[in-house]
Amino acid sequence: MRELAGDNLIERDYAKKPLTAEEIEDIFGNDPIPQFLNTRHAVYKERGFAEKLPSKKELIELIISEPNLIRRPIVRKGSELVIGFDREELKKFTK
């Protein structure tokens, strides 16, 4: 990951230090929420999120309790944000 996102990458293990509601809100911003969700996660499938998502508040609570429900990695540089492993987008951070 470091070779794609650059040497100033700060890594965080969400299992050891979960995201807060405020951090999740900041990640979502005003963007559509589905793009941030891990569609292969059991909770996503079991609850039928492909058909209908719960409220933003409920999703945030679920992500706090099930951190793998959000796609990873989450890479931010200034106001730029990349969610999920996208090699080409991550390379932009090294420039």
Q: Is the pTM above the cut of 0.95? A: no
- The 10s digit of each residue's pLDDT in 6-39 is 556 667 778 788 889 999 998 888 888 888 999 9
Q: Flag whether pLDDT at 93 surpasses 80.
A: no
Structural domains of the chain ordered from first start: 2-94 (3.40.30.10)
When comparing pLDDT for 76 and 26, which is higher? 26
Q: Mean pLDDT over residues 45-57, rounded?
A: 94
Q: Which residues of 55-94 are buried (b: 16+ CB within 10 A; e: fewer)?
A: eeeebbebbbeebebbbebbbeeeeebbbbeeeebbeebe
Helices (H), the chain: 2-5, 21-28, 42-46, 56-65, 87-91
Q: Mean pLDDT over residues 70-95, rounded?
A: 78
Where does the pLDDT of residue 87 fall: very low under 50, low under 70, confident under 90, or very high at 90 and above? confident
